[in-house]
Amino acid sequence: MAGMLKTAIDCFVNLLYILIAIRAVFSWVQFSRRNILIDLVYTLTEPLLAPIRSLFRKSPLGGPGVRLDLSPLVLFLLITLVRNIILGFIIF
C-alpha cells in the first residue's frame, strides 16, 4: 500500500515539475495565450507561482528592474521539501 501511494505522489510531483519547467520556458519565449495548451499550463501553474512572486516583490531581491523570476526555482524546492516530508510520514 505504501509503495503505491509513494508512486502516486511521485507521479504527481513529476507532473508538477514538468508543468513548471514548461511555464519557465514560456516566460523566456513569447507565446500567444490563445493556444489552449499554453493557457492550460498557465492556469495550472499560476496559483502556485503567484504567491511566491508576491513574496519576492515585497523583499529586497524583487525590487524594480529585476527581471529574473526565481519563483519556479523556489517552487521546485518547496515541492521537493513537501514531497520528502509526506513520504517520510508514509514510510515510517
In contact, 2 and 87? CB cutoff 8 Å: no
When pLDDT is averaged across residues 1-15 and rounded to a whole number, the result is: 90
In contact, 10 and 72? CB cutoff 8 Å: no
For 51-90, the pLDDT digits (tens) are 998 887 766 665 666 667 889 999 999 999 999 999 998 8
Query: In this structure, what C-alpha cell is assigned to residue 68?
Result: 529574473
**Residue 65 vs residues 21, 44, 56: alpha-carbon distances, Å:** 23, 27, 13
What pLDDT sits at residue 90? 83
**Residue 82 vs residues 37, 38, 50, 66, 79: alpha-carbon distances, Å:** 27, 27, 18, 28, 5
What pLDDT sits at residue 84? 94
In this prediction the pTM is 0.83
When pLDDT is averaged across residues 1-24 and rounded to a whole number, the result is: 92
